[in-house]
Amino acid sequence: MLGTFQQSHLRIEVDAPLGKIQASLVQPSQFRQWLWPQQFSQGLPGELYGGLSFNSYLGPVEIHHEINQITDHSLFMVLSGGIDGFHEWYWGDQWVQSRLEGVSALPLNLGQSLAMTRLRQFLQQPTPA
């Protein structure tokens, strides 16, 4: 893998309950909306589960994701390809935390900062009745 070892840890407060935060992180129909321009494999299930493998794409860069562990408050993925490392998510009522570490030529801290900003905006949208 070409690139440098990078690590980024971010935690944000959001005006959203735990269930809405969890859904935005584990349901592909939701994370596809706020993780744009990242594209994801077709055929993903309605909700992520342990052992699931899928690919995402940032332009021509392919990133393989393998869900190692998922709980009601956390998600741990091993990454390979465009990022060789891992991504951890933790969440609770009105907060989200992300830890990303790996070797990559991509600017991981910048990408993570943009993703967290988009997640906050997504969670602050009114829920349709």
Q: Strand, coil or helix: what is 98?
A: strand
Interval 101-126: pLDDT, tens: 999 999 999 999 999 999 999 999 88
Is-contact 7 98, C-beta < 8 A?
no
Round the average pLDDT of the chain to a whole number and report it. 95
- What single-letter DSSP state applies at residue 37? T
- Give the percent of the chain with pLDDT over 90: 92
Pairing relationship of beta strands 84-92 and 95-104 according to DSSP bridges: antiparallel
Interval 19-30: pLDDT, tens: 999 999 999 999
pLDDT at res. 2:
79
Q: Which CATH class is domain 8-123?
A: alpha beta
Is-contact 123 21, C-beta < 8 A?
yes
Examine the pLDDT at 13 and tell me if it is beyond 90.
yes
Which residues lie below 8 Å from residue 60, measured CB to CB, with a gap of 6+?
Answer: none
- Domain locations along the chain: 8-123
pLDDT at res. 69:
97
Does the predicted model carry a pTM greater than 0.85? yes
